[in-house]
Structure 1
């Protein structure tokens, strides 16, 4: 049932439609909560959790098919990266899930690494914004050379924000 709720949420159906279509299955678990006045927040929290799980799964699948990587010393997005970001933007439609973009750069010079990492994060955020994802839903974690070195620093991680 959670998968169906997650899919319905990800497709952008309104809250009242979700409740109407899944009413009988949820009545036994939420009946007591509804009578105490706690049903609505619980249902909203469950829907948000389902949406976050669905987005997280979509991001993982998109990044497995085509990781977002950068060329050494560059912050330009490749065609493959842009396609992956399109899949991620699609997963973010119809929900309020926020994501974190973690970028790196492997320069030994920490300042130079941080600056390139920030340019990479901004390139991803700008691309997502162009694909319809509001900028306030994308947190940037530009780590420079703090968390990744060498070829690992060319990879980007995207996850559901905590």
Structure 2
């Protein structure tokens, strides 16, 4: 057993060393180090790197265990919000067509996993009660949209901050992230 562990560690160290040394790009623009990468971006041991089987995904590597579905959803959130941020017009809680498309893209990434997301909405009214009310309506609009795209309500943690965390133009922006 110890021999298998030692061989696995030695094989992984060799692969990591080779991957670090092979940083040059070929004519297609990809580096040789990425050719043997696993979906999580970690170097995969090459066949023959040792006689021990490679550990199953997520075993012994906390980054790999956390990087799967949560990382995919994070990437989808970033891409969707970069393309079309989820914003509201002043004094309004209606989602735009572009915002709905972004939410749908995020919802698709959430299918087939149990990843939860956090949605923070704001409203910039000077009156705290009025700002909180509008912020809550915006959070509900987003949660309802996610439900319409097949994401259960319990997977969306809404945080309606009112005017506590954002003012002016920032209060029109919605932040969406994977819940920690």
Question: Which band: TM-score by shorter chain?
Answer: 0.7 to 0.9
Question: RMSD in angstroms over aligned alpha carbons?
Answer: 2.8
* Distance in 1 of aligned mates of 2:104 and 2:38: 23
Instruction: Give the corresponding residue for 2:118.
Output: 100
* Distance in 2 of aligned mates of 1:128 and 1:144: 21
For structure 2, which runs of at least 5 residues remain unmatched after alignment?
1-35, 42-46
| TM-score, scaled to structure 2 | 0.68
The alpha carbon displacement at 1:96 in A equals 0.8
The alpha carbon displacement at 1:104 in A equals 0.2
Secondary structure of the equivalent of 1:145? Answer: coil
1:1-162 map, 5 Å = 4=39, 27-28=53-54, 30=55, 46-162=64-180
The alpha carbon displacement at 1:138 in A equals 0.3
Does the CA contact (< 8 Å) of 1:2 and 1:50 recur in 2?
no
Instruction: Give the corresponding residue for 2:22.
Output: none
* Distance in 1 of aligned mates of 2:80 and 2:172: 17
For structure 1, which runs of at least 5 residues remain unmatched after alignment?
7-23, 32-38
Greater fraction of residues in helix = 1
Moved over 6 A (4+): none
The alpha carbon displacement at 1:94 in A equals 1.2
1:51-108 Cα distance to aligned partner (Å, 9 max, x none): 1111101101110000000010000011111111110101111111100000000000
Does the CA contact (< 8 Å) of 1:113 and 1:145 recur in 2?
yes
Secondary structure of the equivalent of 2:92? Answer: coil
Does the CA contact (< 8 Å) of 2:104 and 2:146 recur in 1?
yes
Does the CA contact (< 8 Å) of 2:40 and 2:64 recur in 1?
no
Secondary structure of the equivalent of 1:84? Answer: helix
Does the CA contact (< 8 Å) of 1:5 and 1:47 recur in 2?
no
Instruction: Give the corresponding residue for 1:21.
Output: none
Q: How many residues align?
A: 138
The alpha carbon displacement at 1:146 in A equals 0.6
